[in-house]
Amino acid sequence: MPTGKRGLPATLVRRGGERILVDCGEGTQRQLLRSDIGLVELEEVFLTHFHADHYLGLPGMLKTFALRGRETPLTLYGPAGLADLVGTLRRIFGRLTYPVSTVELEPGEALARDGYRIETFATAHAVTSVGYALVEEERPGRFDVQRANELGVPGGPDRGRLQRGEPVTLADGRVVQPSEVLGEPRAGRKLVLTGDTAPVGSVVEAAAGADLLVHEATFLADERERARETLHSTAGEAALAAREAGVKLLALTHVSTRYFGHQVVEEAAALFPATVVPRDFDIVTVPFPERGTPELVRSGARSGRAPVGSEA
């Protein structure tokens, strides 16, 4: 259920110029319009499962793209049943100005992207569901300019080759290996989004060492029975998963209308201190590990009411 302050599930992932939407609850197009990002021409939307609060924003958003005359294709990803769902939704959104295709994914699949991959993992919900992990490749080590100068590597293409991991033969016949001028390979980043799920080992496994784990926390401990019946997690259970997985930051979402963000943070932080509960329009930045740690950035109050008590 939405509230005056909280919209329905939708998370936008930005990486360089890329924009990926994960889940698309009712009103997502307008939330994007009201955000600093705007309603950009998303090319990929990932659904974690097919409860209406996670997809009802799709038909309206697809129609808006068509009203703008969009021609760029759009691909929807989701667990088994996606094609059926989109078949039903097509009766609503009708003919569009651009092609929409669907890709059904099993847990354990990986989609190759430029510099990273999107992996699916098993979650445990009342309907077929899947979680998503964005896992960046290792980046080459830092290029040691001083050392390259000492070795007599000329500026230009030869240095590029070394950075890409290729050996280079100099004018005088000497061969310089990449390892002579490059530091240790640097870790990529890892972002894991669970969607709705009860506590389950596959989530901890998928989240191992993640920079950011975006985990649902529908309930608090006082509603643990209800969490079990509905296959959701409590804030404490999400914190335990983050702790076992050794993530850097835990962002809790999908909070029941009965709780305030600070209550959720309190319960989780007792087990896992690096926990935040983002509000609508908040941003979590995930820098390269050598540049800092993931951090919640509060947005301006665009959700239409005064901010709820602080919880960072």
* CA–CA dist 29, 93 (Å, integer): 14
Contacts with a second copy by CB under 8 A: the residue count is 31
Type of residue at 122: A
Considering only residues 11, 24, 26, 131, which one is a binding residue for a second copy as defined by CB under 8 A?
26
Q: 92 or 170: whose CB is closer to a second copy? A: 92
Q: 52 or 175: whose CB is closer to a second copy? A: 52
Handedness of CA 35, 36, 42, 45 (dihedral sign): negative
Q: Is 305 in the site for a second copy (CB under 8 A)?
A: yes
Considering only residues 15, 18, 19, 56, which one is a binding residue for a second copy as defined by CB under 8 A?
56
Contact yes or no for 60/29 (Cβ under 8 A): yes
Backbone φ and ψ of 59, nearest 5°: -55, -40
* CA–CA dist 13, 78 (Å, integer): 16
Candidates 22-30, 142-150, 153-161, 207-215; binding stretch for a second copy (CB under 8 A): 22-30
Q: Is 42 in the site for a second copy (CB under 8 A)?
A: no
The binding track of 66-85 with respect to a second copy, each residue x by CB under 8 A or -, is -xx-----------------
Q: Is 4 in the site for a second copy (CB under 8 A)?
A: yes
State yes or no: is 158 an active-site residue. no
User: Measured from the CB of residue 55, what is the shortest distance to a second copy in angstroms?
Assistant: 9
Q: Is 33 in the site for a second copy (CB under 8 A)?
A: yes
Q: Is 141 in the site for a second copy (CB under 8 A)?
A: no
Q: Which of 53, 144, 158, 282 is catalytic?
A: 53
User: Measured from the CB of residue 304, what is the shortest distance to a second copy in angstroms?
Assistant: 4
- Quick one: tokens of 138? 């290792």
Contact yes or no for 12/19 (Cβ under 8 A): yes
φ/ψ region of 292 (left if φ > 0, alpha if ψ in -120 to 50, else beta) reads: left
Q: 59 or 278: whose CB is closer to a second copy? A: 59
Q: Is 117 in the site for a second copy (CB under 8 A)?
A: no
Q: Is 34 in the site for a second copy (CB under 8 A)?
A: yes
Cα dihedral 41→80→83→56 (10° resolution): -60
Q: Is 128 in the site for a second copy (CB under 8 A)?
A: no
Q: Is 27 in the site for a second copy (CB under 8 A)?
A: yes
* CA–CA dist 96, 157 (Å, integer): 46
The three-state secondary structure class of 134 is: strand
Q: 115 or 304: whose CB is closer to a second copy? A: 304
Contact yes or no for 86/117 (Cβ under 8 A): no
The binding track of 87-106 with respect to a second copy, each residue x by CB under 8 A or -, is -x--xxxx------------
The beta strand positions in 154-248, using DSSP E, are: 168-169, 175-176, 190-193, 212-216
The three-state secondary structure class of 86 is: helix
User: Measured from the CB of residue 248, what is the shortest distance to a second copy in angstroms?
Assistant: 31
Cβ atoms < 10 Å from Cβ of 118: 21
Cβ atoms < 10 Å from Cβ of 15: 16
* CA–CA dist 53, 40 (Å, integer): 21
> Applying CB under 8 A, which residues contact a second copy?
1-4, 7-8, 26-27, 29-30, 33-34, 52-53, 56-57, 59-60, 63-64, 67-68, 88, 91-94, 302-305
Catalytic residue numbers read 53
